[in-house]
Chain A
Amino acid sequence: MHQTQAVERETEAAAPARRLGRAIVLTSGKGGVGKTTTTANLGTALASRGVKVVLVDADVGLRNLDILLGLESRVTHHLLDVLEERVSLDDALVPSKHGDTLYLLAAAQSREKDDVETEKMKALIETLRERFDYVLIDCPAGIELGFKNAVAGADEAIVVCTPEVSAVRDVDRVVGLLGNRFRPQLVINRLRPALVRKGKMLSVDDVNAILRLPLLGVIADEPDIIVTTNRGEPLALRRENPTGAAYHAIAARVAGEDVPAPMPPLSKPSFMERVSSFLGGKRA
């Protein structure tokens, strides 16, 4: 049934007076919460729906999206090569290994963030929107120039947050900086249900009681993610994996489908947990 939708969207996309694609920035303020992982997986999941997707790594100087997609050996040109008109956009776009509708525009590794001209970045995103259905922009950590350039061309935002006080505080700050224009939506990443159950981690409700953002979905903290990063194969390639499936559900929601936000099961406490909480006299 995904197939039919994909076909429909394809026709839509191919219509003569096609509208511009959506430019979505993935940001968080705090680093290491999973912006790049989310970009890679959401992009992979969206592309599997048959729409054209380009992932733009805006982290000039500290690029990593190429690594997560396993494309590091295929990058020959980068964002600044395009912005500074040394190569054409087509020369810099790296097709993904999986599926033919996903592309990467890598960041420059040996340059600085202030080498990017905001206006040119805006124009580039505009060009990409003419050619792709989705332009996902992977924003660098922080709120300095790199952040400003990454959000410049976007018209929507997905903020990625982990259930930790510092991450929530930083996201709150970033949402404040973004203002209303970007209609930010939230992905909560690295939730550990067992810790939430024990009351040692903020719950989804705790986080969103503070942030009050439309929730796209929740991703559990799984060792699988480290393995897929090691290999350069986004988890979204594996629909049978619960985390992979969660990214597909998020992609469906981004695409406007009415599916529930994925949520890792807050499964019942294990036997050992029950024994230890019984012995410890605490309620789990």
Chain B
Amino acid sequence: MIEFLKRLFGQSGSSATAKERLRLVLMTDHLELAPEMIEKLKADLVDVISRHVEVDRDRIEVNFERQDTALALLANIPIISVNRPNGNGSHANGSNGSAPVEAVAETAPVQPVVEGEAALEAPAPKKKAAAGATPPVRKRRRRKKNAAASAAAAPTPT
């Protein structure tokens, strides 16, 4: 009876799940199919960030990572120096200031994507040096937060 009522009110349906899974899987399929696009995205990303800070182009890593409900773009962009005198320097260093570049690179980006909320709580790098780009995630309620790509720029100790 409960099952019937659920059906009656369209709650038990699996089609919503199917649609959500399809959306995500096709996004990943398309990424796998378009390595040139990713290279271009990488270049554009670096160009934008370079306007504000000098980055180590040779050691940039850009990856996509799938979670159960979202696809995240993870960018690890080591910074060589900060260009603007009044800009983001002090902020960007934040609590991770003295961490070795690689270590930050490994841990910082991964954590935030596990839960969307975590990304918002992530320490300093988020606001200033983070380069977030959302791959074609469209109009998804409550998905927004999760899908927001997180990226951490590992600041070199200055």
Contacts and interface: CB of A to CB of B under 8 A. Distances in A.
B109 to A, nearest CB: 16
Interface residues of B, number: 14
Nearest to A74: B66
B99 interface: no
A70 B66 CA distance: 13
A231 B20 CA distance: 10
Given A73-B66, A73-B67, A231-B14, A67 B29 contact: no
B107 interface: no
A110 interface: yes
Given A73-B68, A227-B14, A232 B21 contact: yes
Nearest to A229: B18
B103 interface: no
- Grouping DSSP codes into helix (H, G, I), strand (E, B) and loop, the B interface class, with mixed when no group exceeds half, is helix
B32 A109 contact: yes
Interface string B66-103: 11100000000000000000000000000000000000
Interface in A70-125: 70, 72-74, 109-110
A230 interface: yes
Given A67-B21, A72-B25, A73-B68, A110 B14 contact: no
Interface string A26-64: 000000000000000000000000000000000000000
Nearest to B28: A72
A226 B21 CA distance: 14
Interface string A189-232: 00000000000000000000000000000000000001111111
Nearest to B32: A110
